[in-house]
Amino acid sequence: MPKNTELFNPGCPLVAFGTSSDQKEKLGEVLKFGVQCGFRVLNMSDEHNNETSVGMSLKSLITGGFIARQDLFISFKMTKIQNLRQLEEHISKHLTARSLTYFDLFVIENSAFVEENILKIWRTLENLHLSRLLRNIGLSGFPRKQIENILSVAVIKPFAIQDIFNPFSSNNEISQFCQIHDLLLIGMSPLDNLSSKGKLLTNSFVTEIARNHNASPAQTLLAWAIQSQTLPVVQTLNTDHVKENIMLSDLKLSEKEMRDICQLTQTK
């Protein structure tokens, strides 16, 4: 794993709880359950109108004494903003709506600014990082060339790159790039449910490897993502799945199993 994962609390499970659901009330309950089950990395974005229920759950967990704020690692992705000068104001609103005072990681989506130059955006994020509103900064969905441009001028290196990463996504290039540059790859859609409609979870290779480990296909895919040096963000509203998705510590895939799962890209 990249060096910066040392910033996570010792023992923090390196799998993130996704909050991209429009079912606000259910999400709020399941988020609380997720933290109670052991999730510590929470992934959020401005794409879903769910900030009030997310904020209420966080508040009740923190003020209720179940968890300290510093024991959570909260990542937030911003996908839209009109004006760079208003960025700080927008971030403050997103924080307040979620009962937070800082994000552990703030990631900017490639399409968030239509007309601004990315290097100028990065400088603005570096300044906000200095103000401690954003403890770390990163990029989502950026092509490799642009990430290279940013790396060549960055005073503060991106903490993480967020992108789709699963065996069907053919995203080995970005994964290798992140490993070479010691960047954390936060892997979205680790089960590829949205684009393959469950085909990855029912794939015969995956189900056989899962059976051999007495694990579920979802656990096998999450273990594959973690052993591929990524931090997967998994999304569920099902409490049995929440428990399953955090119980990964005993699951270690062999090198051959890792390779076999990698090759699924070609069979999609």
CB of 253 to ligand NAP, least distance (A): 16
Contact 28, 54 (CB under 8 A): yes
Q: Which of 16, 13, 66 is CA-nearest to residue 185?
A: 16
Residues lying near ligand NAP in the complex (CB under 6 A) are found at: 18, 20, 47, 140-141, 162, 164, 188-194, 201, 216, 218, 234-238, 241, 244-245
Give the shortest CB-10-to-ligand NAP separation in angstroms.
26
Residue 206 contacts by C-beta under 8 Å, 6 or more apart in sequence?
Answer: 167, 200, 217, 220, 221, 261, 264
Identity of the residue, 175 or 216, whose beta carbon is nearer to ligand NAP in the bound complex: 216
The DSSP line for 190-228 is TT-HHHHTTTTTT-HHHHHHHHHTT--HHHHHHHHHHHT
Give CA angle at 219 (217, 222), nearest 5°. Answer: 110
Task: Output 129 or 241, the one with its CB closest to ligand NAP.
Answer: 241
Please identify, using beta-carbon distances, which residue of 76 and 122 lies nearer to ligand NAP. 76
Minimum CB–partner distance for residue 234 and ligand NAP (Å): 4
Comparing CB distances to ligand NAP, the nearer of 201 and 226 is 201
Give how far the C-alpha of residue 13 lies from the chain's centroid of Cα atoms, to the nearest Å: 13
Nearer of residues 53 and 245 to ligand NAP, judged by Cβ? 245
Compute the least distance from the CB of residue 235 to ligand NAP, in Å. Answer: 4
CA 153 to chain centre: 25
CB of 81 to ligand NAP, least distance (A): 16
CA torsion angle for 62, 67, 68, 74 (degrees, to 10)? -80
